[in-house]
Structure formats: structure tokens, C-alpha cells
Amino acid sequence: MHTQTFSILSVALVISLGALTPGSAAFAAKHTKAKPAASKPAAAKKSAAATDALPALPAQVALAPNAPALQSKAWLLMDFDSGEVLASANADEALPPASLTKMMTSYIVEQALRSGKLKPTDLVTISENAWCRGTSAESCMYLPLGSQATVIDILRGIIIQSGNDASKAIAEHMASSEAGFAKLMNAEAQRLGMTHTHFVNPTGLPDPAHKSSARDLAILARAIIKDGAEYYALYAERDFKYNGIKQGNRNALLYTDPTVDGLKTGHTAEAGYCLVTSSKRNDMRLISVILNTHSAKARADQTRTLLGWGFGSFEKVTPIAANAVVATAKVNFGKADTVAAGLSTPWMLTVPRGTPVQTAVELKPGLEAPIAKGAVIGKVVAASNGKPVGEAPLEAQADVERSGWLLRGWQHFVKLFGK
């Protein structure tokens, strides 16, 4: 009965967008029981919040005018499709990521599920090290000591409830220990190009050597969405019930913005309040990162501001339609002298609104048959105001067979004498 009361209170706090800490549901319940006389007047609370707020940090990189200045130690906005950073400040500063760490933990689990190394129904045993003792010091899924839970429940506990117990348990299951799992995390971070990241544990609990950056966390978020589509819907789930305890997702934007479908919150005293968010409006998906701001409300408000600027300042353009013939490439020693070059898939770019885009074609020189349909034979480069903004491969739109020896001999002769 005690834990059920905690769960109801924690969900209520999330929905009301209160400053919910990453501690357990018990922490929320404990503090809601405080006597009214002990609470500060509204004016005092506002004054304290203003004192705690960081100075506004303006954009150091911005691809469109009027980028916001945000009260955090680092922030970033990325275009999902291209991976291009649209605006940022302190993007590469290594900071404590708190529970944003669990994005890597969940990503590794998802990739193991996709490869077959793990199955959703595999059972994970909860060791004494993984077990949460019901304190207010950490977020918990409340897995009983010595019990077993399925991998898919563990994954939900990591993503939705930010469970430290779930994260530790899967780390031990996959790599025998948290330290062993951290090696997997760091190897994956290196593979993804997260150059300012070092993980020590699967939870994000404080450690001087445990760091990541806004850019790296955006790279990780993009990989989660791209590589684990069958599991990405979990990041949008608002609550999860396990062991009779229902807890709400701490991402307040999931309750207020239907375009937001992930990803993760984080908070410790050292890391401040952090949030990585993905939002899709029409054909555009943006990823935002807020690191080390002063409250749960601030991280949500700053994310809204950043996403609002991004969607208002940029648009998707299609420089060239898929399957359109872009150029004709000369082919040597083929039954046909040329082959059409075009795009096999849709090509969309994210550019500042109203920006004209020009394209230039670059074909590979000295193409020789045989050439298979779909082979890359060049590329098309897009530029805006003289600056490259993207490129796409040009593919052969048909097969070109190699000519017979007699015709090939004639073609060699013609090529040799330039006739």
C-alpha cells in the first residue's frame, strides 16, 4: 500500500510539471507531506528561483537569425535527417550527463535485441548491487531483490522510469558488472563519433570521470531514433507500471506537446536539470539538448523555446526529385555509350526559410562498362549563398553491359586516336 501511494503522487507531480527530481517516487511523496507552515511564500520561491538561474547563454553557432539565449551551461539544436547542428552554445564542453547516460544503456540493449543477442523475454536477475533500497537518493523501477524481470520490462524501466536498478541489472546481465558494461558503452560512443564522452557506469550517478557533451548526446539521440525504430515508441510512453507501482515519465513535454516523442531527462546536484528531446512537425524532426539548467520547469521551457525557434526558422526543401534524370554520364566499352544518372531516394534538406538552393553535378570520370543499375556514378552537391548545405549520390538508372571483343576493340581504337 505504501508504494502504491508513492506512485500516484509521482504521476501527479509530473503531469502538473512540477520540479520532480530523479529520485524515487518515495522522495516525491515524502516532500508532498511537508507541513504547509514549512513551505515558502510564492514571492520567496520566485526570488530563490531567480537567484539560482544561470545567466542567459547566447548561441555561438547559428545557421539562422535570432537564435535564443538560454539559461543553461550548454545547449544544442540538431536537424535529425542530416545531423547538422542548427544552433548551439558550449556544444563540446564535457559535463556530467546524469540520467541522460541511460540513453546509451537503452541503446545498447536495443541493438542487442535487434541482433538477437538478447530476446525480449530473456530473464534478468536482480542482484544486491542492482537492488534499490527504497531511499530518496535515486530513481528506481523497484525490482525486488533476487527477483527476475524480462528484458523488455527492464528496457521500459530504464527509458520511462529512469530506473537505476534496471540499468545496473541489465549491465550485469550483459557484461557481468557495471564496469564491464561501461566498456561497451565507451566502445559504442567511439563508434558513433562521441568524442567528448566517457562513461563510468550505466546510470549516470556522479563520478568525476563520467562526462558527455551536448553534441555527443544529440548524436546518440539520432542513433537511437535511426537504429532502433522498433523500440523508439517506448520513449514516448507516459507511464509504466511494474511490481504494482505506476510511475510517470519525467519528460514534461510528453504531456503538453503532441509533436514530442522522446527522449530523456536527467538530474543530479552536480549536473543540474538536463533534457534531450526529439520533436517532429510535418517532414522535419529536430533534436534538442539542454544541459545543466536550474529547474525541471526551466529545462522544459528552454526546450520549447529552442524547438519553436528551430521550426519557425528552418524549412525542408527538395532540390531534386527522386527518380528524375539529373545528368547523362559517358560510358566507355559498353553496349550503350551513356547512362542516365539520378537519385534513387527522396532528397530533402533543412535550410533557413526562404533561402535559395543551387545544385551542381559531379560525375565520376572514365566510367567503364559493365555498370549495374543503382551503382553510384557521381553526386549532386547543393549550396546556399555559396556554402555547401548537402549532397546526395547519383546512381545509374539502367544496366550497361560490356561490349563484345570486336566492338570493344573498335572503341579502344577510337579512344586511342580520339575519333
The backbone region for 194, taken as left when phi is positive above 0, alpha when psi lies in -120 to 50, beta otherwise, is: beta
Nearest to 332 by CA among 379, 371, 373: 371
Task: Enumerate the H helices of 35-132 as residue ranges.
Answer: 42-52, 102-115
- Residues near 186 by beta carbon (within 8 Å), at least 6 away in sequence: 197, 198, 199
CA distance 266 to 274: 5
Nearest to 281 by CA among 253, 333, 316: 316
| Known catalytic membership, residue 99 | yes
Retrieve residue 276's grid coordinates: 534531450
316: β partners: 350
Find out whether 168 and 177 touch, Cβ atoms under 8 Å.
no
| C-alpha neighbours within 13 Å on the C-beta side of residue 160 | 25
63: β partners: none
User: Catalytic: which of 10, 24, 106, 162?
Assistant: 162
Retrieve residue 397's grid coordinates: 538508372
Q: How many CB atoms lie within 10 A of CB 120?
A: 12
Retrieve residue 271's grid coordinates: 549536473
CA distance 322 to 313: 26
Find out whether 50 and 279 touch, Cβ atoms under 8 Å.
no
User: Catalytic: which of 102, 211, 246, 264?
Assistant: 102
Q: Cell match 510511475: residue?
A: 247
- Residues near 167 by beta carbon (within 8 Å), at least 6 away in sequence: 102, 105, 158, 202, 203
202 cis-preceded (ω within 30 degrees of 0): no
User: Catalytic: which of 7, 10, 88, 99?
Assistant: 99
- Residues near 114 by beta carbon (within 8 Å), at least 6 away in sequence: 227, 228, 230
Nearest to 155 by CA among 32, 67, 237, 95: 237
CA distance 335 to 338: 9
Find out whether 223 and 192 touch, Cβ atoms under 8 Å.
yes
| Known catalytic membership, residue 212 | no
- The residues assigned a catalytic role are 99, 102, 162
